[in-house]
Amino acid sequence: MAYSDFSLASVKKSLNLTISPRQDLFSAVPDLKCSNYLTETLAYNVPFALASNTEKSRSEMIIAPILLELTSNSKKAHTVPVRLSVSR
């Protein structure tokens, strides 16, 4: 099943989930300035990715360049510093 086939309501119902109040997960993370390369790449790629309307193109043309930029700017692994627990 594709990601776009899911909705928050259907996932909440099928997995019996409760959504907690919003947490500001990234408040302690400093802002980063995008490189000229990333800015130009996204300016070029985004219209094509959105026009093709597939998750694959969005992933490869939008998400991948952003992740590469993060990796090139940091020597640390990128993780979310919040413990999420799931119970059924």
Distance CA 82, CA 42 (A): 29
With residues binned 3-state (H G I as helix, E B as strand, rest as coil), the percentages for the chain, rounded to 5, are 55, 0, 45
Residue 74 per-residue DSSP state: -
* Residues 11-27, mean pLDDT to the nearest whole number: 85
Tens digits of per-residue pLDDT, 32-88? 889 999 999 999 999 999 998 888 888 899 999 998 898 888 766 656 566 767 776
Distance CA 88, CA 85 (A): 10
Flag whether the pTM goes above 0.85.
no
